[in-house]
């Protein structure tokens, strides 16, 4: 599974944080690694430099071999919370897809 990390102009990711994100995603999605060919991560700040609640956004798009991609997003006070929430949503969606694939 290839993981591609994208950010908006308001965010610069240091290598340590990028490694942490990749590890979190690899561990969280390890069960589905044979299903996912590529995972795109989009991090953005919804209101730029202004402060706000739940303004950090994480969009995860999983490309699945032979299927339509699955995209989920989540907002949080921090990028960690946004990533964690999006990961939970993606796992739920992948459970459904994997279940349907086994049924056929």
Q: Which CATH architecture has domain 2-103?
A: 2-Layer Sandwich (3.30)
> So what's the pLDDT on residue 98?
84
- Tens-digit pLDDT string for the chain (104 aa): 899 999 988 788 899 999 999 999 999 999 998 899 999 999 998 877 677 677 899 999 999 988 899 999 999 999 999 999 999 999 999 999 888 877 66
**Where does the chain show beta strands of DSSP type E?**
2-7, 36-45, 56-64, 70-76
> So what's the pLDDT on residue 61?
97
């Amino acid at each position: 599974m290839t993981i591609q990390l994208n950010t908006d102009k308001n965010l610069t990711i240091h290598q340590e944080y990028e490694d942490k994100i990749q590890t979190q995603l690899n561990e969280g999605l390890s069960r589905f690694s044979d299903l996912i060919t590529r995972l795109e991560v989009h991090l953005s700040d919804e209101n730029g430099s202004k402060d706000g609640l739940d303004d950090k956004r994480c969009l995860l798009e999983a490309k699945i071999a032979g299927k339509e991609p699955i995209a989920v997003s989540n907002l949080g006070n921090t990028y960690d919370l946004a990533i964690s929430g999006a990961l939970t949503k993606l796992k739920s969606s992948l459970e459904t897809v994997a279940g349907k694939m086994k049924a056929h």
